[in-house]
Amino acid sequence: MTTKLIMVTGASADSDIGLAICQQLAGDGYQLILVGRREEALQATQAQIPGEHIIAPMDLTALDDINGWMKSLCSEHGKLSGLVHSASYQGYSPLRGMKSKQIHQYFDTNVAAALMLTAAFSKPQHHTPPASIVHIGSVAGFKGLKGRSLYAASKAALMSITQSCALELADKQIRVNCVAPALVDGAKAQQQFAMLNPEQQQALKDEHPLGLVPPQRVAQAVAYLISDSASHISGHTLPVDGGYLIA
């Protein structure tokens, strides 16, 4: 049986979600193309996962280069069976200090890159049907966040294009879905807690009735949607949020 080839963006070892996804998919027997801006961070991921994988550094904000870059990778390594777009630009954008360049920072990576990757993936010479695309969104796409309007808007847009692309690519046997985590336990969460006083820390924890989301749970949701077990699921956004949206 030929090993299926999956591209994972945001695969750097210092990304809690990206690393967990790579560990899960590699453990499931897929061969991965590890994508991120920094080669050394991708090498660190490679060192933590089983199997032989491909390191492919890329700045995904170079939108016009994505198709040619994917063409080159597929020519050398073979067609893709799946794509996980985990790369994301995050931060705060309070209205009082918002700059126009921030719009590009959020939307180029979180939305435009997702579209260009999907368009490139969908070319017959780049994928083997049936195939699956999974975007990593956020509960911010469902529920606005104070001071993070650009991040929330970009994730809402990602949910929308998930639906549209799922419809457009169904006849090519390509499924498109999205996983929307809440606050994921890990280094970045700890940085966020460090900026809060004890009362604020507790309030943030209380927003997650089942607790902060382990990155492994996000990875398991991705693995399910990538797999043939989800063969009739497309166009959906799956919250993995510890109860955040119902709290």
Domain ranges of the chain: 5-246
pLDDT of 184 above 70: yes
Residues classed as catalytic: 151
Predicted local confidence at residue 107, as pLDDT:
96
Q: What are the angstrom distances between the C-alpha of 234 and each of 12, 199, 230? A: 27, 40, 8
**CA dihedral for 112, 192, 152, 170, sign (positive or negative):** positive
pLDDT band at 132 (very low <50, low <70, confident <90, very high): very high
**CA dihedral for 161, 164, 166, 172, sign (positive or negative):** negative
Predicted local confidence at residue 238, as pLDDT:
98
pLDDT of 91 above 90: no
Q: Give the chain's end-to-end CA distance (angstroms, integer).
A: 45
DSSP state string for 191-213: HHHHTS-HHHHHHHHHT-TT-SB
Average pLDDT (194-222) is 91
Predicted local confidence at residue 198, as pLDDT:
86
Predicted local confidence at residue 74, as pLDDT:
98
Q: Given the structure tokens 């801006």, which residue do they identify?
A: 37
Contact 187, 198 (CB under 8 A): no
Contact 134, 82 (CB under 8 A): yes
Percentage of residues of the chain with pLDDT beyond 90: 84
Among the listed ranges 71-85, 142-156, 159-173, which one has the minimum average pLDDT value? 142-156
pLDDT of 95 above 70: yes
Phi, psi of 85 (to 5 degrees): -100, 95
Contact 70, 117 (CB under 8 A): yes
Predicted local confidence at residue 114, as pLDDT:
98
How far from the centroid of its chain's Cα atoms is residue 86's Cα?
2
pLDDT band at 1 (very low <50, low <70, confident <90, very high): low
Predicted local confidence at residue 167, as pLDDT:
98
pLDDT of 210 above 90: yes
Average pLDDT (187-199) is 80
Q: Kindly report, residue by residue over 36-48, the tens digit of the pLDDT.
A: 999 999 999 999 9
Q: Kindly report, residue by residue over 216-236, the tens digit of the pLDDT.
A: 999 999 999 999 999 999 999
Q: What is the pTM of this model?
A: 0.95
CATH class as words, domain 5-246: alpha beta
Predicted local confidence at residue 233, as pLDDT:
98
